Amino acid sequence: MRYLVVLSTVLGAVLLFLLSKASANTPLFAQDYPLLLGLGGVLAVSLLLLIAYQLWHLKRRIRARVFGAKLTLRILLMFSVMALLPGAIVYGISVQFLTRSIDSWFNVRVDNALYSGLSLGQTALDNLRVDLAKKATSMAFSLADQPAARRLYTLDRLREQMGVQEAALFDQDGHVVAFSGGEGAPSLAPNPPDPSILQQVRQQRPYSALESSPDKGLFLRAVVPVDVLSLTEDMLVLELIQPVPTRLAHDADAVQSVYRAYEELSVARLGLKRLYGLTLTLTLLLALFSAMALAFLLSERLSAPLGLLAEGTRAVAKGDFTLMHPVQTRDELGALMQSFNSMTRQLADAREAAEVNQQQVEMAKAYLESVLANLSSGVLAFDEHLYLRTMNPVAIEILGVGAAATQGLRLFEWGGPGTGLSEFAMRVSQEFLEHGERPWQRQIEFARGPATRVLLARGTRFSAGSDSGYVLVFDDVTDLLQAQRDAAWGEVARRLAHEIKNPLTPIQLSAERLEHKLADKLSPGDGEMLARATRTIVAQVNAMKNMVDAFKNYARAPSVNAAALDLNALVREVAVLYESTGDAMRLDLSDRLPPVRGDVTLLRQVIHNLLQNAQDATSAQPRPRVLVHTEASGPWVKLIVSDNGSGVPEHIKGRIFEPYVTTKSKGTGLGLAVVKKIVEEHQGMVHIEDLQPTGTAVCIALPRMEHPA
């Protein structure tokens, strides 16, 4: 680009020198004017293209947000204005001065007179042409109704009447039909009109023009169509030729030659104007381009250090503090560069210290997250407005809700109205508000689906500061409470069995001995009453013994002799005992049910208890239905016993698996408790669900055997 600028400047200087010489030397100007004009135009276009390229390149740099591009544009505009305004003023005044000076050299004002004379001659010739066209039209009307034999005669007569030199009649293909000429006219057949003229005439458009030829000189030609009346003939074409009067032709040629000579003289004047105008234009463009080139050069020198600083700031923004630029000057820009290098070194040291602290914080955070993730308790952390900060996986598992579902919600806004999560959140919120800074501990029931869990929650408030807020730690103690209750019931059952069974046998023996001793000594009526009383005592003692045996079975931990067994086969075996129910019981056993590991005796007792409960629950139904269903679901094998009985009352649904909780008038309330105990000994799960419109379903899930022996 620099070499191109230098070359353009040198060529511009040489061209300006040649133009100045040409303006002072008329022969040189007349000879080399087109060449100089072409070179000047090429150089002007080249300069404009160079300026346009620089502006386009600057525009790309501005769009690309290259640092220093806007500074270059500002300097460029200032230099351009400084060069353009004075140059434009000098240019305008110089052009006006030269134009008026050159016009003052031509004080002979004959151009209007020559133009008027030329217009006068042209008008006279146009009148003659129009008159000849009218004569041709009149003659065509007269020839149209003449027969073919009289056309030549009529043509001669009309030509002589109209005073026309030549008249010729052609057919539409250009062949001569009749010709009439005056004295001195050629006797041979004339040349037909051009095909273009014939085509125009055939389209009913007459032709008239001023023409010239070497043999006829300047003459007028008129060609018109002749529409014959005979239907068997085609249209004819009439051509009239009339020479221009010698005096008029001579005067017209004289005026035209004088006007041409004056035009050549005017060209010289216009050329001088263009020459000087081009010289001034090139001078202005060279000055403007030089200013722009200087502006680009200066802006690049000024913006180069700033560009280095910008590159350094971008590197710092990306985290690279290693970029250092050498200080090449001792001015303000050099001092700025030195300050930037010092700042970069300080930032590098600060970042290194921050990275060390960040690593320590991340290690502490990872350790804390590891501790929270491995805690067996759920942990929830809130800010001072009770918005959730974090929760560990155990909390997500217990509550059944993740952090995303509580995003942007305060604690008392969790869950929908009437849900277990909403009640739990409201209870915890109230505890936090009531206790303030004091820690608290409460046992809260949490309903999740059909099951109700008991959570032991402990809450406290952080100390005031930037990390103020609340923390809640809770444990699911449902199984612990259930185990405690089971242990308590087992101890009660064991003691009751021990305390009750001991006196039962003596009571039964004493009643039987009384009957044996007194039966013969009493009257028949009293003897009968004694027998009935004795039978009642024996029956009640047996009932008490059965209840004590049930107590003993519940209190004694079952000993599981686990082995692989087919649950479907065991269900069919127990279901045989209930064939008396007829169609009330239906089996829906899954094909390819995987085996489970369990105790046949204990699981038989479980199935028997479930079927007996279902049969008792449907005893009052007019159409009892009991369905036994088995299926494989993931790692579990499920046994579901459903019926259409009256269901489980709402007030005992949460305690249905506790001892002595029953809906039957004569039940002991130990059946489902024993079922739950046996299933849990098999590492299984059991729960109960209500059916619609009526009925109950008890679902038992046992772990499947992956690789049975």
Nearest to 241 by CA among 119, 123, 139: 139
Element (H, E) at 401: none
Nearest to 288 by CA among 631, 12, 647: 12
Tokens linked to 647: 């269901």
Residue listed under structure tokens 């007569």: 157
* Helix (H/G/I), strand (E/B), else coil: 438: coil
Most confident of 230-239, 268-277, 389-398, 400-409: 389-398
Query: With b meaning 16 or more CB within 10 Å and e meaning fewer, what string describes 226-247?
Result: bebeeeeeeebbbbbbbebeee
* Helix (H/G/I), strand (E/B), else coil: 404: helix
Say which amino acid occupies 322.
T
DSSP class per residue in 579-630:
GGGGGGEEEEPPTTPPPEEE-HHHHHHHHHHHHHHHHHHTTT-SS--EEEEE
Q: 653: Cβ–Cβ under 8 A, 6 or more apart, which residues?
A: 688
Residue listed under structure tokens 């730690």: 473
Contact yes or no for 469/381 (Cβ under 8 A): yes
How much of the chain, in percent, has pLDDT values that exceed 90? 4
Per-residue model confidence as pLDDT tens digits over 431-456: 888 888 888 888 888 777 666 778 88
> CA 279 → CA 19, 22, 44, 290, distances in Å?
7, 11, 10, 16
> CA 167 → CA 206, 212, 224, 637, distances in Å?
15, 17, 11, 125
Contact yes or no for 687/699 (Cβ under 8 A): yes
Task: Return the sign of the alpha-carbon dihedral for residues 142, 148, 149, 155.
Answer: positive
pLDDT band at 159 (very low <50, low <70, confident <90, very high): confident
Query: With 0-12 CB in 10 A as exposed, 13-18 as middle and 19+ as buried, what is 411?
Result: buried
Angle at 319 between CA 313 and CA 322, to 5 degrees: 75
pLDDT band at 638 (very low <50, low <70, confident <90, very high): very high
pLDDT at 489: 67
Angle at 149 between CA 143 and CA 155, to 5 degrees: 40
DSSP class per residue in 238-302:
EEEEEEPPHHHHHHHHHHHHHHHHHHHHHHHHHHHHHHHHHHHHHHHHHHHHHHHHHHHHHHHHH
Mean per-residue pLDDT over the chain, rounded: 76
DSSP class per residue in 333-369:
HHHHHHHHHHHHHHHHHHHHHHHHHHHHHHHHHHHHH
pLDDT at 494: 66
pLDDT at 455: 83
The arithmetic mean of pLDDT across residues 339-367, rounded, is 79
Q: If you count DSSP H runs as helices and E runs as strands, how many of each does the chain have, helices first?
A: 15, 17
Does 406 or 554 have the greater pLDDT score? 406
Quickly list H helices, 475-599. 478-518, 524-555, 567-575
Per-residue model confidence as pLDDT tens digits over 187-204: 444 677 888 888 888 788
pLDDT band at 499 (very low <50, low <70, confident <90, very high): low
d(CA 470, CA 689): 37
d(CA 201, CA 229): 17
What are residue 179's DSSP bridge partners?
168
Nearest to 291 by CA among 85, 93, 92: 85
Nearest to 664 by CA among 623, 621, 588, 613: 613
* pLDDT above 60 for 557: no
Contact yes or no for 599/565 (Cβ under 8 A): no
d(CA 285, CA 5): 13
* pLDDT above 60 for 29: no
The pair phi, psi for residue 402, each rounded to 5°, is -100, 175
d(CA 75, CA 78): 5
Lowest mean pLDDT among 216-220, 567-571, 666-670: 666-670
Residues, the chain, total? 709
The arithmetic mean of pLDDT across residues 505-512, rounded, is 77
> CA 481 → CA 412, 420, 678, 683, distances in Å?
27, 20, 18, 18
Contact yes or no for 244/218 (Cβ under 8 A): yes
The arithmetic mean of pLDDT across residues 61-81, rounded, is 78
Q: 606: Cβ–Cβ under 8 A, 6 or more apart, which residues?
A: 674, 675, 678, 679, 700
Bridge-based pairing state of the strands 696-703 and 636-643: antiparallel
> CA 540 → CA 11, 64, 222, 515, 554, distances in Å?
137, 103, 154, 16, 21
* pLDDT above 90 for 630: yes
Angle of the 111-144 helix axis to the 151-162 helix axis, nearest 10:
150
Q: What is the phi-psi region of residue 6: left when phi exceeds 0, alpha when psi lies from -120 to 50, beta otherwise?
A: alpha
Nearest to 143 by CA among 133, 129, 130, 153: 153
pLDDT at 188: 43
Angle at 205 between CA 204 and CA 210, to 5 degrees: 145
Does 564 or 281 have the greater pLDDT score? 564
* pLDDT above 50 for 469: yes
Contact yes or no for 541/507 (Cβ under 8 A): yes
d(CA 383, CA 472): 12
pLDDT at 275: 65
* Helix (H/G/I), strand (E/B), else coil: 321: coil
The arithmetic mean of pLDDT across residues 468-494, rounded, is 74
d(CA 287, CA 270): 25
* Most distant pair of Cα atoms in the chain: their distance: 197
> CA 370 → CA 355, 373, 392, 414, distances in Å?
22, 5, 10, 27
- For residue 693, say if its preceding peptide bond is cis, omega within 30 degrees of 0: yes
pLDDT at 274: 67
pLDDT band at 627 (very low <50, low <70, confident <90, very high): very high
